[in-house]
Amino acid sequence: MEKPHTFDTYKRPGVPNPPTWVLVAMLGLLGGALVFWLYIALNLVAPVPRPPRRSEKQYITILPNGDRSSRKELPCWIDKWSAEKEAAKKKAGPGQVVVPPQMPIEDAEIFMSVVVPAFNEEDRLVGMLEEAVEYLLKEFGGAHEGLQEKGSPKKKQKGWEIVIVSDGSTDKTVEKALEFAREHQLSQHKTPASGPWEGGLTHAAEHIPHGSIRVVALEENRGKGGAVTHGMRHVRGQYVVFADADGASRFSDLGKLVEGCKSIEDKEGRGVAIGSRAHLVGSEAVVKRSKLRNFLMHSFHLLLRLLTPPATSRIADTQCGFKLFSRPSLPHIIPYMHSEGWIFDVEMLMLAESADIAMVEVAIGWKEVVGSKLNVVWDSIGMAWGLAVLRAAWMAGVYRKD
């Protein structure tokens, strides 16, 4: 009988498995290479702000006779502070820690500085300025009043300035701002321009002191973050608030921000008060926005919660363009800013948190103002990307507080 056909079996020449340690080493190497390239990529994509140009460290104002001034040098606390810090580091020697780690900055000259970032705002700026000036005059008196009464140690809450930072505007923003200053200095305005809120100065006789409105023009557009940060390098106030040029925030709520900030300041006087529209969610102003915009807003909040450290992630409205900083907080935040675009608010808050500066959210009045230049879809994608890069850059040590 024929044998059933069977296959011959033979042993393959064995390929020996590599020892486990080789596998682990190879995986480690691959991981290392990946981290290295990610780090390089992060260095390439993380924004580095350009240094200010010569003309950007100067301002224009209106002289007492109504003429436009020549360019004047802006005061700059940050230059002096950086020089002092460098000197302290040199004195301490390499590798030694400078004590205190943050040098204090030069004293304030006035009580309130208002920084207004303005990109092509010829239509919206004047209404906002009307409301701001009316409140500032009423609350903080003449712009040129000092903080200190002669011979008295007690500080007054007096004196103010508005620093308008035109962000490479190609329209008549600068001219409009100067025209506003000229008309109000000379009390020539018959009919105050009305802003979104109460409508501006009601007393035609009231006029602002010369030089209280300073206009700085960036040579090229940087983005809101770049414009705000630039303005804040040149402020003289005990408190510094930034406010959008569209006047969407009720300016008179500045008083609430000051009170809120004072209530949380530490013994060095550091504190941040964040204007908030969180109480308006569900109200007409927010509901009226498009579904897409509200959806993107909620997605952004979720991302914020996931990507930011605890105190920042607890802030319900990080994006409101009305935030107040006490002067001693500035050297912990402004020198370390990188974000040029819309995500800069979050960087400011993260920096405040990393320096253990207390933050408080204060409900403010807010109105939707037509003419927003925010592109809902593209700017939301940009913000999500910016936030991810920002967080990664701080975690990986690409950004450092040296």
Ligand X SMILES: Nc1nc2c(ncn2[C@@H]2O[C@H](COP(=O)(O)OP(=O)(O)OP(=O)(O)O)[C@@H](O)[C@H]2O)c(=O)[nH]1
**Which burial class, exposed, middle or buried, applies to 143 when counting CB atoms under 10 A from its CB (0-12, 13-18, 19+)?**
buried
Closest CA to 247 of 368, 114, 119: 368
398 binds, among ligand X, Mg ion, none (CB under 5 to 8 A by kind): none
Which residues, numbered 362-401, are part of the site for Mg ion (CB under 5 A)? 372
Give exposure, 289-313, as e/b (b: 16+ Cβ within 10 Å): eeeeeeebbeebbebbeebbeebbb
Q: Closest distance between ligand X and the C-beta of residue 240, in Å?
A: 16
Residue numbers of the site for ligand X (CB under 6 A)?
Answer: 117-119, 121, 167, 221, 223-224, 227, 244-246, 248, 321, 372-374
Judge if the upstream peptide bond of residue 100 is cis by omega within 30 degrees of 0. Answer: yes
Closest CA to 312 of 286, 283, 350, 280: 350
Nearer to ligand X, 210 or 323 (CB): 323
Which residue reads 């319900």 in tokens?
A: 316
Among 131, 161, 167, 246, binds Mg ion (CB under 5 A): 246
374 binds, among Mg ion, ligand X, none (CB under 5 to 8 A by kind): ligand X
Q: Closest distance between ligand X and the C-beta of residue 114, in Å?
A: 12
Residues in the chain: 402
Whether the Cβ atoms of residue 219 and residue 304 lie closer than 8 Å to each other: no
373 binds, among Mg ion, ligand X, none (CB under 5 to 8 A by kind): ligand X
Among 165, 228, 248, 257, binds Mg ion (CB under 5 A): 248
167 binds, among Mg ion, ligand X, none (CB under 5 to 8 A by kind): ligand X
Q: Closest distance between ligand X and the C-beta of residue 77, in Å?
A: 22
Nearer to Mg ion, 117 or 328 (CB): 117
| Cβ neighbours of 202 (radius 10 Å) | 10
283 binds, among ligand X, Mg ion, none (CB under 5 to 8 A by kind): none
- Tell me how far apart the alpha carbons of residues 376 and 368 are, in angstroms, rounded to a whole number: 14
Nearer to Mg ion, 115 or 143 (CB): 115
Q: Closest distance between ligand X and the C-beta of residue 230, in Å?
A: 10
Site size toward Mg ion, by CB under 5 A: 4
Nearer to Mg ion, 248 or 334 (CB): 248
265 binds, among ligand X, Mg ion, none (CB under 5 to 8 A by kind): none
Angle at alpha carbon of residue 8, lines to 6 and 13, rounded to 5°: 155
**Helices marked H in 141-279 — which ranges?**
173-185, 224-232, 254-264
- Which parts of this chain interact with Mg ion (CB under 5 A)? 244, 246, 248, 372
